[in-house]
Homo-oligomer: A and B are copies of this chain.
């Protein structure tokens, strides 16, 4: 089990774990913004994962992208592994909308993060957890309140 980088711990809420990755929700209500963090020590680039883990990452990434389109009605999905600031490998999955505050620019540095209300956070979390049941080995860190 790899420890989460302090900045990821601070900026995100842990929702659960796929077979390979921890699933985080970014605390920014501007967009449904999820992060997959492969549970491997000392990895900074996707190509450093072995082939089986790369395939599993692709599976988990596709589950997340489909979720953003089918359950969050994203107009476009943005997927990115950057890591210029937080070296621990993590892959952003962000639902983008024609009317979101940064569109069509990428989200990084575009707008200050907007805090979730308690209700909105619960809704996003529960919708996600329900949709992910039984997908790619996902196990929730929460008991859905819906």
Contacts and interface: CB of A to CB of B under 8 A. Distances in A.
Interface stretch (A4-12, A15-23, A72-80, A118-126): A72-80
B66 A62 contact: no
Interface in A50-97: 54-55, 57-58, 61-62, 65-66, 69, 76-85, 87, 96
A104 B85 contact: yes
Contacts of A57: 58
Contacts of A82: 76, 78-80, 106
A103 interface: yes
Nearest to A106: B108
User: What is the predominant secondary structure among interface residues of chain A facing chain B?
Assistant: mixed
Nearest to A47: B62
A136 to B, nearest CB: 12
A105 interface: yes
B65 A76 contact: no
Contacts of A58: 46, 54-55, 57-58
Given A82-B80, A84-B96, A104-B84, A45 B61 contact: no
A109 interface: yes
Interface of A: 44-47, 54-55, 57-58, 61-62, 65-66, 69, 76-85, 87, 96, 103-106, 108-109
6 contacts: A46-B62, A47-B65, A54-B62, A76-B83, A77-B81, A84-B103
